[in-house]
Amino acid sequence: MSMEFQKKLAGAETPIPGVVVYDLPVYGDNRGWFKENWQREKMIAAGLPDFRPVQNNISFNDKVGTTRGIHAEPWDKFISVATGRIFGAWVDLREGPSFGSVFTTEIDPSKAIFIPRGVANSYQTLEDNTSYVYLVNDHWSADADYTFVNLADETTNIQWPIPLNEAEVSDKDLRHPRLADVKPMGPRKTLILGADGQLGRALRSKYEGDDSVEFAGRQEFDVLDPESYTTRHWGSYSTIINAAAYTAVDAAETEAGREAAWAINATAVSRLARVAAEHSLTLVHVSSDYVFDGSRTVHTEDEPLTPLGVYGQSKAAGDAIVSTVPRHYVVRTSWVIGEGNNFVRTMAALAGRGIHPAVVDDQIGRLTFADDVAEGIQHLLQTKAPFGTYNLSNDGSAQSWAEIAADVFEITGAERSFVTGISTAEYFKDKAAAPRPLNSVLDLGKIKAAGFSPRNAKMALTQYLSTTQASI
């Protein structure tokens, strides 16, 4: 087969999901030929994933019939031929419905193929002095998690141009298991940090039973320890969900609290951002209404950051850092309610004891239940929504803290009138307290356009109290 010159750069899908064959323009004359084997900008424009290769390998084969494989590796590969010609065979060994799918084709210097992680690769040379070239997006390691299938497997039934008994094959490749005995390669993992906090516990519940999700509290991953970021093989991960945060709003105004807030909400986030950027991971970061001063009627995702206090300033810094990561979601919430001590549980306990509290009535917003944040994060990741910042609170009419407290009293059987309103200035008079935004209402148009509809806040409140009241 002679090589075809000056084809247009173009990709063609194959029966294996994610495996794409590319025609490469090759320019030749009486002196030989030239091609751009890898050109990131043009390849991405042609549909190739921006898989960011870090290593370039060459396999030289001096004889026709040299046969290698079938190996599935834990990284993506971009494969081409420098000299000669091959018959390539690929078998999907990933978990899922396409497991066992086979694709074969011939490749010469005018073709290339992209092979995702977990798709097994093999080839047989059709000419002497064939050089097989491949880019990979992780550094090769003998300790990596490989998966194999036998070259002569009856189920895949690969029709090798040169029969295996006449080919140059290693004994090791011939001892690989049959397809029926192959353990599929699982997907890259999601790492959830801050997994013991109220959002972390909601994420644990949402991803319960998913073996591809790893949960890490402070004991498993201390975000303040620089070594935490260097001791993991990040090539095994696809996503980091950062639910770790310093949230003591008033304590952040003290000397010790200011240091802690910036260490967790900004410095640690910068380390996560660097890891995500270097390893092409998706970073999900949870933000706060405190990045705004509350001077607007409703806060949109593109509103300039105007934090009032140290906590808000440290969170705003984290948002700015995460926004530099190519694959990121900043999920901005307000008034979060989850497991453990929180405003709703406190009001329910006061209602049960017959106490008449004074509650702030000039701060306006919506509750955000941690379960809804967890579900919204899962939705963004599963649907591959466009990267960027998304507001996420519960839906419905904006309320003051006093109105929400009255709802809690009413739902739990007490009188709404037991709750009286008080201004923020009066409530915090003579107290050391951080400044708070008076309006925390988040615009939800963007996340709704992405296909996620948060629950009505009052409905969610009623459901929350029905499941927690017995433990209050």
The predicted pLDDT at position 462 comes to 95
Give one DSSP letter per residue of 292-356, joined into a string.
S-S-SSSB-TTSPP---SHHHHHHHHHHHHHTTSSSEEEEEE-SEE-SSS-HHHHHHHHHHTT--
36-44 average pLDDT score: 92
Choose between 100 and 145: higher pLDDT. Answer: 100
Q: Residues 91, 70: contact at Cβ < 8 Å? A: yes
Range of the domain at 407: 189-471
Count CB-CB contacts under 10 A for residue 180: 10
We report the CATH number of the domain holding residue 92 as 2.60.120.10
Domain shared by 170 and 197, yes or no = no
Domain shared by 266 and 328, yes or no = yes
**What is the pLDDT confidence band of residue 12, given thresholds at 50, 70 and 90?**
very high
Domain shared by 55 and 195, yes or no = no
Domain membership of residue 3 (yes or no) is no
Domain membership of residue 449 (yes or no) is yes
Closest CA to 135 of 80, 61, 60: 80
Q: For 60-109, how does the pLDDT look when each residue is reduced to its tens digit (9 = 90+)?
A: 999 999 999 999 999 999 999 999 999 999 999 999 999 999 999 999 99
Tell me: pLDDT of 438 over 60.
Answer: yes
Q: For 96-138, how does the pLDDT look when each residue is reduced to its tens digit (9 = 90+)?
A: 999 999 999 999 999 999 999 999 999 999 999 999 999 999 9
Which of 181, 202, 224 finishes a domain? 181
**What is the pLDDT confidence band of residue 29, given thresholds at 50, 70 and 90?**
confident
The predicted pLDDT at position 467 comes to 86
Q: What is the mean pLDDT of the chain?
A: 94
171-185 average pLDDT score: 95
Which of 181, 205, 237 finishes a domain? 181
Q: Which two tokens stand for residue 185?
A: 């390669």
Domain membership of residue 419 (yes or no) is yes
Domain shared by 176 and 264, yes or no = no
* Count of structural domains, the chain: 2
pTM over 0.85, yes/no: yes
Helices 401-411 and 343-352 pack at an angle, to 10 degrees, of 50
Closest CA to 191 of 275, 302, 70, 77: 275
Domain membership of residue 5 (yes or no) is no
Domain shared by 465 and 443, yes or no = yes
Domain membership of residue 2 (yes or no) is no
The predicted pLDDT at position 140 comes to 82
**What is the pLDDT confidence band of residue 3, given thresholds at 50, 70 and 90?**
low
446-471 average pLDDT score: 91
Domain shared by 123 and 25, yes or no = yes
Q: For 352-379, how does the pLDDT look when each residue is reduced to its tens digit (9 = 90+)?
A: 999 999 999 999 999 999 999 999 999 9
Burial zone of 112 (CB within 10 Å; 0-12 exposed, 13-18 middle, 19+ buried)? buried
Domain shared by 204 and 174, yes or no = no
The predicted pLDDT at position 348 comes to 95
Q: Which two tokens stand for residue 247?
A: 């949230």
Tell me: pLDDT of 167 over 70.
Answer: yes
Which of 130, 156, 181 finishes a domain? 181
**What is the pLDDT confidence band of residue 1, given thresholds at 50, 70 and 90?**
very low
Domain membership of residue 4 (yes or no) is no
Domain membership of residue 234 (yes or no) is yes
Q: For 233-292, how does the pLDDT look when each residue is reduced to its tens digit (9 = 90+)?
A: 898 999 999 999 999 999 999 999 999 999 999 999 999 999 999 999 999 999 999 999
H-helix or E-strand containing 283?
Answer: strand 282-288
Tell me: pLDDT of 32 over 90.
Answer: no
Per-residue DSSP letter, 44: H
We report the CATH number of the domain holding residue 377 as 3.40.50.720
The predicted pLDDT at position 472 comes to 67
Domain shared by 143 and 78, yes or no = yes
* Distance, CA of 448 to CA of 37 (rounded, Å): 42
Q: For 313-339, how does the pLDDT look when each residue is reduced to its tens digit (9 = 90+)?
A: 999 999 999 999 999 999 999 999 998
The predicted pLDDT at position 203 comes to 97
Q: Residues 240, 421: contact at Cβ < 8 Å? A: no
Any idea which residues carry the catalytic annotation?
71, 134
